[in-house]
Chain A
Amino acid sequence: MVSMNAIACYFVSSMPDENTEIARGLQRRDPDLLDRLIEKYQHRLLRYLVYLTGRRDLAEDLFQETWIRVLERGRQYDGRHEFSTWLFTIARNQFIDHTRRKRPVSLDTLNNGENDGDTSTPFEITDTVQPTPFDATVQREQNQQISGGMQNIAIEYRETLVLRFQEGMSLGEIADVTGAPLGTVKSRIYRGLSALEPWVKGVRL
């Protein structure tokens, strides 16, 4: 028990150290550090952007722009907060900038199906390794159902659900990333999950 606690303490206390190291590397604009960060956060960041934008191609563009911005603005990161929170905030701002260039609206007023008038399939679901072809097919259908649901709920709900349930962020971290009050974050999670109801029911059928 004692050793377990020691291990837990080590991991908890090593988090700020890791963030401090990242902050130092970003101060130096260390390209090797950035290579490692890109690899480490590749799936998480892309997933967030895919859900935020509703388009894979745009998400990939913003993915690159986000890392360029991390390089340029890296000196502003002080290491006192989680790097992932700062990274997602930058990604979000990149998306808002992109949207403003297209037309002047705020993220909160964006709704689904309005994104650039794009009607293509928003979420490209990759195949996963499954034990049997039947399971793979069922899993794929379920993923498509849920993805369809995510596409159809309001963007602020979608974003909050992804940060909470896919990225595992705390409510405080989500409030930091989105700039929304804690109460609003709670409400978005609750309403977002409720809005997914019809698609989850479809999955069970």
Chain B
Amino acid sequence: MNPDSTNTDPKHDSAQHERARLLIVLSGAEALSHAELTDTEQSWLSAHLEFCSSCREFQEDSREKIRSLRAIPILASGHLVSATQMRVRRRAQELQRDQEHFWVICTCVAAVTLSSAVSAAAVWHGFEWIGQQTRLSAPAWESGFVVFYLMPAVVAGILLLARGTFLADDTGRFQD
């Protein structure tokens, strides 16, 4: 494999060979532009490789493997790229629409909250008057008032929670 490698068996224990081989692999066996070794590690490795033929052979093997790995061409087709771009654009439009819907909903919620706050006193008196006319107890017409005020929010909450469930399709829209 390595023409100038000799049988000069280095007087290093297996831990040193192991370290050298790990450094060789981490450095990308010089196949990569940026190595991951510190200067100290680099110089230690160079010194070790000077007289260790088996590690030099290992370095050559690693270089071969990395070269082979980098030579494998796997290319994306033009069709895949254009199909992906189209899907992404379509999804971007959907998200844009959802964003606009979100702001409409926020505006509606703000308007309803404001009008509710303004009209609460009048509606309260209205329920009180109905309770007196129909001779209902105070807790009964007060409960009616609470239900009247909370029901729209409860219904809206249920509908929003139902998005993404069996009631809606993949995009969150409600099924017909």
Contact status B71-A67, CB under 8 Å? no
Give residues in B with beta carbon < 8 Å to A.
21-22, 25-26, 28, 31-34, 36, 61-62, 64-66, 68-76, 80-81, 83-85, 87-89, 91-92, 95-96
Contact status A39-B95, CB under 8 Å? no
Contact status A38-B31, CB under 8 Å? no
Contact with B along A36-71 (1 / 0, CB 8 A): 001100110111001000000000100110011001
Chain-B contact segment, one of A16-24, A77-85, A94-102, A196-204 = A196-204
Q: Which residue of B lies closest to A171 (CB)?
A: B36
**A-chain residues with CB within 8 Å of residue B22 when the two chains form the complex:** 186, 190
Give residues in A with beta carbon < 8 Å to B.
29, 31, 34-35, 38-39, 42-43, 45-47, 50, 60, 63-64, 67-68, 71-72, 123-126, 128, 139, 142-143, 145-147, 150, 161-162, 164-166, 168, 170-171, 186, 189-190, 193, 196-197, 200, 203-204
B72 contact from A60, A64, A125, A171, Cβ within 8 A: A125
CB distance from A143 to the nearest CB of B (A): 5
- In angstroms, Cα B96 to Cα A29, docked, is 9
* Number of residue pairs A-B, CB distance < 8 angstroms: 119
Given contacts A50-B74, A125-B74, A139-B71, contact A71 B64 (CB under 8 A): no
Q: Which of A67, A147, A193 has the most CB atoms of chain B within a 10 A radius of its CB? A: A193
Contact status A165-B69, CB under 8 Å? yes
Main SS class of interface, A: helix
**B-chain residues with CB within 8 Å of residue A166 when the two chains form the complex:** 69-70, 72
Given contacts A38-B85, A42-B76, A126-B75, contact A68 B91 (CB under 8 A): yes
